[in-house]
Structure 1
Amino acid sequence: MRLLIAAALAIAAVPALAQSAIPNRTIIEGAIDGYIRPAFAQFAEETGALDLNVAALCATPSADALTLAQNQFRSAVTAFSRVEFIRIGPLGVGDRLERLLFWPDRKGIALKQVQGALAEQDATTTSPETLQKKSVAMQGLVALEYLLFGTASDDLASAAGSYRCSYARASTALIHGLAETITGEWHDDTTVGVAAALLNPRPDAADYRTETEVLEKLAATMIHGTEAIRDQRIAPIVSDSTGTPKPRSALFWRSNMTAPALAANFAGLHDFFVAAKYPEAIGTENAWVAEGAIFEFGNAARATSAITAPMEQAVADPRQLQALKYLVVVTKSLDTLLGQNLAAALGLSVGFSTLDGD
């Protein structure tokens, strides 16, 4: 009830100012140096460790080596979940996001293609060079999760899983390589780097022409994050249209990473919000906007921590199912706070859906 009241107040309230209380450049620098660069660097580090662990598993298969690889997969997923909402810049170039995470996948394309490769022992999946030329659904974290946690994944602990392990090794090499590329581009301080484009917008630029446009793109990334959590992560699970939850529609259910990934999604949004100094930018007259957003991020953290069981068991538990549904309410409140109230306080226009192609 407290959340619903807070959401209603946020919708009804109107920010007092329509400009930033701190220099626009301070917000942009905070977003880049305070969050984006270190978060992508962490993703590259975790995928590098994953690559090494899977390589060690393939070289010397054992139950312990498999457990290490599986646990490092979970760490890589957590790191990715903290940056996946940052669609501006390198992650949004070409099909990079799809190569890292082919999702949503309502038709189960990744599962069908990975299972087909395993059945055929398709040798082209065992080399990064040839795997990269195949469907993006066969390359990223969704495909890798099935290889490490899916049916017959226990074979990876012995020589029986040699083909499967070689496929997983090629996948981790591509994931880590892409993570390093993205991180390197964010750390490129030359005039052609994305950071320079954001920090020095020009009227004749093809991407960022004014500081206001940069601020709008940065704010829109947060709205995309809350929409993706609600529409692509939670809605398929709770399935309100049918009334019957679908736990196997959850991202990362095989590795029991659905709730931890959601927690990392929200934590990343919170840390980005703080690092970009939005609370300071809003100013004292609109402090309620920042306080409301931080309050909701706290609600999200508590709700995700309440989802402790594997997804099939979680949706059968009324308390955990309610926690999932509660997260939908949180995202809608954050939509208002970040997409309407924050934008109004800073004089921005970000009231569009970044999921619908606008």
Structure 2
Amino acid sequence: MRLSSPLTSLPLALSLVFALAPAAAQEEDALSPRAVNEAAVPSVMARAVDGFIIPGYRDLAEATNSLSDASAALCKSPSDATLDVARSAFSSVVQAWSAIEIIRLGPALEQNRFERFLFYPDRKSTGRKQVQAILAKQDESATTAESLKGKSVAVQGLGALELVLYGNGAEILSSGSGGFRCRYGLAVSQNLRNIAGEFLAEWEKPDGIQAAWKKPGTSNPLFRDNKEAATELLGVLVHSVEMVKDQRLRPFYAGTIDGKPDKGRPKLAIYWRSVNTMPAISANFSALQRLFDTAGMEELLPADSRSIAGSIDFLFKALIAAADRMEGPVDAALADERQRATLDFIALNTADLLDRLNRQFGASIGLGAGFSFADGD
């Protein structure tokens, strides 16, 4: 296996490769198409809903409530202390969102809720330009959650609020001269609270999407059988790992480009202003492991393929630990050889995790060796 990382990362990367090698050898023998353990599917889906999805949205609702309260307090009594509390509340929402954003389906796709909560990637800096225009013009129509809801998705979510709290000129929030900026930020925080409440309400409806997840069948509008339900659940993991690889890591660091070390592009990293880039990525991996384990996805596998689940869980733990070792702003991390080596390790093993979920787990539950979530087949 050829690594693009500096030599300092080689022992760490190889230790993980060798640790997984015995399981990988067994898994290769189990790659011929099998069938999902259909008897386990309803309970696995129910645990995914009751043990991961609904609690995740409850946590998000609580975090956004706290953020809204902290934003209101900042506007009422601007000071360094209230600004610090608001920023801390923002980081808590980033963590709560990063722990549930992997559920990008159902209510998240309705009414543009996902994009309204987080507009990313933003390759043309649309959000920055539109937020700056609102601040420059002091557009009062952006200072209520209701009116904000009808504006561009780029100015009403986490990216917009990060610009308000951490962007150029944010220091005026702690003084009495930041009134408009604070009112706009408050409207964004209230909008986030409202969207989080909608997520939770939709998933808590007994006869809504949770019922469709828990009871696959011919009359089910989402899953006609157990295999379709299992495929959807595995797809959540596959697409989310792919998202971390392609939308969270690759934009700011690719390891090597045309054989040369990548200097990195720190300002393309998500949440770089608030130094939440790596904490958010760690939360993404932690959420994926929690969903995998809480739902008991190992039970979907044939008995002789259960080692696949063990190797996937091992990779999750290694990736979470590596992400947690990353410290400080992205630009400082890219200037540090040890942290660059850790990024290389994360990129290498994220790709390995994607392969194990997409090809090995998928084949073992009967999706077939040619099936690819990534290609939409």
Task: State the TM-score bracket (shorter-chain normalisation).
Answer: over 0.9
Larger deviation: 256-265 or 93-102? Answer: 93-102
Distance 1:91 1:59 in 2: 32
- Three-state SS of the structure 2 residue aligned to 1:133 is coil
Structure 1 residue 357, shift from structure 2 partner = 6.6
1:103-122 equivalence runs, <5 A: 103-122=120-139
- 2:33 corresponds to 1:14: no
Structure 1 residue 55, shift from structure 2 partner = 0.8
1:176-215 equivalence runs, <5 A: 176-190=193-207, 193-215=208-230
Match of 2:238 among 217, 223, 229: 223
- Specify the alignment match of 2:372 in structure 1: 352
- Specify the alignment match of 2:3 in structure 1: none
- Specify the alignment match of 2:360 in structure 1: 341
- 2:304 corresponds to 1:291: no
Q: 1:351 to 1:51 in 2, by over 3 A?
A: farther
Report Cα offsets for 1:125-154 as digits up to 9, x if no partner.
111111111100000001101101111111
1:108-187 equivalence runs, <5 A: 108-187=125-204
Read off the aligned partner of 2:97 and give its amino acid letter. F
Distance 1:9 1:151 in 2: 53
Report Cα offsets for 1:309-344 as digits up to 9, x if no partner.
211100110111121222111211111221122222
Structure 1 residue 179, shift from structure 2 partner = 0.5
Question: Identical aligned pairs, as a percentage?
Answer: 34
Structure 1 residue 283, shift from structure 2 partner = 5.3
Count of matched residue pairs: 355
Can you give the 5+ residue segments of structure 2 that lack an aligned partner in the other structure?
A: 1-13
Report Cα offsets for 1:244-277 as digits up to 9, x if no partner.
2001110001100001000000000000000110
Q: 1:160 to 1:108 in 2, by over 3 A?
A: same
- Specify the alignment match of 1:2 in structure 2: 15
Q: 1:273 to 1:323 in 2, by over 3 A?
A: same
Q: 1:205 to 1:25 in 2, by over 3 A?
A: closer
Distance 1:357 1:99 in 2: 25
Partners of 1:20 and 1:281 within 8 A in 2: yes
- Specify the alignment match of 1:55 in structure 2: 72
Q: CA RMSD in A?
A: 2.0
Structure 1 residue 204, shift from structure 2 partner = 4.9
Read off the aligned partner of 1:216 and give its amino acid letter. T
Report Cα offsets for 1:189-208 as digits up to 9, x if no partner.
02xx0011122234354432
- Specify the alignment match of 1:323 in structure 2: 342
Q: 1:58 to 1:217 in 2, by over 3 A?
A: same
Q: 1:137 to 1:317 in 2, by over 3 A?
A: same
Q: 1:171 to 1:351 in 2, by over 3 A?
A: farther
Read off the aligned partner of 1:71 and give its amino acid letter. S
Distance 1:72 1:161 in 2: 19
Q: 1:351 to 1:70 in 2, by over 3 A?
A: farther
Q: 1:11 to 1:59 in 2, by over 3 A?
A: same
Structure 1 residue 87, shift from structure 2 partner = 1.4
- Specify the alignment match of 2:104 in structure 1: 87
Report Cα offsets for 1:176-219 as digits up to 9, x if no partner.
101011111111102xx001112223435443222211111111
Partners of 2:37 and 2:365 within 8 A in 1: yes
Partners of 1:113 and 1:137 within 8 A in 2: yes
Structure 1 residue 106, shift from structure 2 partner = 0.9
1:241-260 equivalence runs, <5 A: 241=257, 243-260=262-279
- 2:276 corresponds to 1:265: no
Partners of 2:38 and 2:227 within 8 A in 1: no
Larger deviation: 341-350 or 142-151? Answer: 341-350
Distance 2:16 2:141 in 1: 51
Q: 1:329 to 1:9 in 2, by over 3 A?
A: farther
Partners of 1:10 and 1:341 within 8 A in 2: no
Distance 2:225 2:306 in 1: 26
Report Cα offsets for 1:289-308 as digits up to 9, x if no partner.
11101110111112112210
Structure 1 residue 281, shift from structure 2 partner = 3.4
Larger deviation: 57-66 or 260-269? Answer: 57-66
